[in-house]
Chains A and B, each alone.
Chain A
Amino acid sequence: MTAGTPRSFEGDDEFLAAACAAASRSSGADALETLGWWDLLPELDDPDARAAVFAVFRAQGRSLTGSIALGALMAHPYPVPGDRQPGSVAAAVTRRSLRRGTVVLVVGDVPSELLLVDRPGVGASLVPVADVDLLRVEIPGRLALHEVVVDLDAAPISVPEVDAAPARRRSHALGRMAMSLEMLGAAEATLALAVEHVQAREQFGKPIGSFQAIRHLLAWARTDCAAVEAVARHAVALDRVAPTGFDEILKALAGRNARRACERTLQSFGGVGFTAEHDHHHFHSRVLALDSLLGTSSELTRELGARLRTSGSDPAIAAGVLVPVDAR
């Protein structure tokens, strides 16, 4: 089974359509070439280029494809010496494992030369890929995931903490926005499959999509997607002028809503949606994997609440701040 093409989602535009087409036709690396993604990446401060850079992630989520885009995007804010070829450097993502402590992960394609591994309070190291062991993480989702076996204490610091700290904040913000859009894409695609399914599947002599219980289940999933789409579009458009922590708000919302959408669509698929043969579990697993990186929805939601309560810092986008959204 292949992913259906969702129709008429908000924010769909020509570039997203092209990204979806490229992602489903070719390998991740070829898709980025076709789309001119590497030329857009240095233009992140241009709103149109930025929107296009991020559209690739939504396309990857929809088509269950992958590339080096996330690692390249997250490496972009760091000052990396030398003139590097596209695909040669990517940032790893670290997470805390309950059992094994800090784990370093490569999400998507592995870079050809250097892996950027950043440690808060220490700085970032550029580790030659040839010097590390990569353990493939076998989970559904058609998402390439590798754990990196590396002795970080032996790795020299390439970007000192004074430079790494601001780059890290930016890198995480970009990574959270990208993962949010990829989760949105996955949720949209499995919702499109569910809509097809409930129109075809008959019980009691009529399509189950004629029963309000099913219709409302999917209408909620659609509403959850619409919320993520709107917030993601604003986050990408506002970018640096968004209130502090807006990337965390977006990722908390995207993780929560995409998971909820996957649960609702699974219910509408019935048992067939819980088979290995059906694509649903790939979308669902991809959402779970992305939700667990750079802060789960639960962690981020609790932290956002704590920050709001203790600092009173205003996370709202005031009407006046929304002006730049329209400046593009």
Chain B
Amino acid sequence: MSSIEGGRSDPDGRADPLHDLRTFVDELEAWLVTGPATLDAARAPIPSFAERVEVMSRLMADLHDAGWARYGWPESLGGLGGTIVHRAAMWDALARRGVAGMALFEHLEVLAPTLVALGPRDFVVRALPAFLSGRELWAQGFSEPEAGSDLASLRTRAVAADGGFIVNGRKIWTSWARYATWCLLLTRTGTPESRHRGLTALIVDLRSRGVEVTTIVQANGTDELAEVVFDDVFVPADRIVGQLDGGWAVAMHILSSERGTFAWFRHCFLYQHLREHLDHGDAGNDFGLGGALLDLVAVTATSHDGLRSHEAGVPLGPRATFTKLLLCAAEQAVNDWILDADADLAVGVQDAATAMRRQEYLFSRIVTVYGGSQQMQLETIAKQALGLP
């Protein structure tokens, strides 16, 4: 396998799992068999997102204490070394043990790699362990009411002030904002016409004076999205991620994770979702089940390539876009089959498990919008992979 730098014993003095991913997985799986009580809690169907975040935060605290959640993150920032492949293996193992999803910790794989690569070190060295242990969570503030696919037109302004910036503006579709302590916020520091050249990524404390988070209840009944208004919010100068006016590069770094490597993590749970419902199906819908399997395997292969590229520090480029499209297709195929196999999610009594199926099914209809709409992804491929004008 590709080399992983810097091995050492984990907190319990077990054999060094960094040199051998299989050993890492075997030891983690053994640990999970008698895992903490918080693991059992995370395996139950929990329709409430507030409760789900709470349960997952407690599980993450235990995984952090035991060391598992620290693998894959740099030792200099509170991790135990290793690479994204260790994280990929950890979440794969959790999915196989029946954990239903990452909840807010999806942002660990969307935002944290960029914080590690481009964030202010003194801040990240404290913030990363707090995130990994579930104590302080993160939201991502990109989209605005007038800036969706055209992200470079965003208008939330950050103006230099004594010791930092004053931020004014409005973000929307900000996932998990009501549960988060921190927001990685894309702001305009250049002129209104500066487009992608005049953006700066700031870390904003959502507890600050002038921040107002309004929950958006979604069509599937969940409420992890929010509108966030910033009214003269002060942000200290040392909270810049990347460079001043270099926010576009930060955004692209994040989107590369969100479209490329994140797919691995999400598809592990889609596999689990499919496996858990196998007894619902019959011979009449085996073709749909097999088709969903094909779509999932395509994500396994392309997102694994993404993990390895990320590990090697090679930019994914348009390959992240293929992975994003394939993940959406897989998510819809899995949920199509689940609906096909049992229409209770459409017309049945909504017990916790059925309610979860309904949430997931409906959410799978909107996955082609978030993280870059499907039409924008297809344009990226047309330009960058096909060379069309």
Contact = CB atoms under 8 A, between A and B. Distances in A.
B378 interface: yes
A8 B388 CA distance: 14
A170 B298 CA distance: 23
Q: Across chains A and B, which 7 residue pairs bring their CB atoms closest together, nearest first?
A: A305-B290, A305-B286, A305-B289, A230-B301, A301-B290, A227-B298, A215-B382
Interface string B279-305: 001110111111101101110111011
A256 B294 CA distance: 10
A209 B389 contact: yes
Interface string A232-245: 01100000000000
18 contacts: A195-B387, A195-B388, A198-B388, A212-B375, A216-B379, A216-B382, A219-B379, A220-B378, A234-B304, A252-B294, A253-B297, A300-B290, A305-B281, A305-B290, A306-B289, A316-B300, A318-B96, A319-B85
A230 B305 contact: yes
A227 B281 CA distance: 26
Nearest to B377: A219
A199 B296 CA distance: 33
Nearest to B325: A223
A312 B386 contact: no
Contacts of A215: 378-379, 382, 386, 388
Contacts of A252: 290, 294
A318 B381 contact: no
B371 to A, nearest CB: 16
Contacts of A314: 275
Contact of B278 (A198, A308, A316): A308
Interface residues of A, number: 51
Contacts of B388: 195, 198-199, 209-210, 215, 218
Interface string A248-270: 01001100100000000000000
Contacts of A309: 278, 281-282, 286, 289
Contact of A323 (B22, B281, B282, B385): B22
A128 interface: no
B275 A312 contact: yes
Contact of B271 (A7, A227, A305, A316): A316
Contacts of B386: 195, 215, 218-219, 222
A156 interface: no
Interface string A1-36: 000000110100000000000000000000000000
Contacts of B22: 320, 323
A323 B1 CA distance: 6
Nearest to B304: A322
B326 interface: yes
Interface of A: 7-8, 10, 195, 198-199, 207, 209-210, 212, 215-216, 218-220, 222-223, 226-228, 230-231, 233-234, 249, 252-253, 256, 298, 300-306, 308-309, 312, 314-320, 322-323, 325-327
B389 A210 contact: yes
B97 interface: no
A315 B293 contact: yes
A308 B289 contact: yes
Given A226-B322, A302-B287, A219 B382 contact: yes
Contacts of B298: 227-228, 230-231, 253
A303 B271 CA distance: 18
A299 B389 CA distance: 40
B301 A234 contact: yes
A234 B293 CA distance: 16
A288 to B, nearest CB: 18
Secondary structure of the A side of the interface? helix
A194 to B, nearest CB: 9
Interface in B44-95: 85, 88-89, 92-93
Contacts of A315: 293, 297
A7 B386 CA distance: 9
A27 B282 CA distance: 49
A80 B24 CA distance: 43
A226 B319 contact: yes
A164 to B, nearest CB: 28
A109 B389 CA distance: 42
B293 A249 contact: yes
Contacts of A230: 298, 301-302, 304-305
A223 B271 contact: no
Contacts of A317: 297, 300, 304
B267 to A, nearest CB: 9
Contact of A301 (B88, B96, B294): B294
Given A209-B382, A252-B290, 18 more contacts: A8-B385, A198-B388, A216-B382, A218-B382, A219-B378, A219-B379, A222-B322, A223-B381, A230-B301, A233-B301, A234-B301, A298-B287, A304-B289, A305-B281, A305-B285, A305-B287, A309-B278, A309-B289
A327 B294 CA distance: 25
B389 A249 contact: no
Given A216-B378, A227-B326, A312-B278, A320 B301 contact: no
Nearest to A311: B278
Nearest to B2: A326
Interface in B130-160: none
Interface in B309-335: 319, 322, 325-326
A304 B281 CA distance: 13
A231 B298 CA distance: 6
B21 interface: yes
Which of B21, B24, B293 has the largest number of chain A CB atoms within 10 A?
B293
Contacts of B21: 319-320, 323
A179 B281 CA distance: 31
A327 to B, nearest CB: 6
Contact of B286 (A195, A302, A318): A302
B296 A316 contact: yes
A253 B308 contact: no
Nearest to A232: B301
B378 A318 contact: no
Which of A8, A199, A256, A302 has the largest number of chain B CB atoms within 10 A?
A302
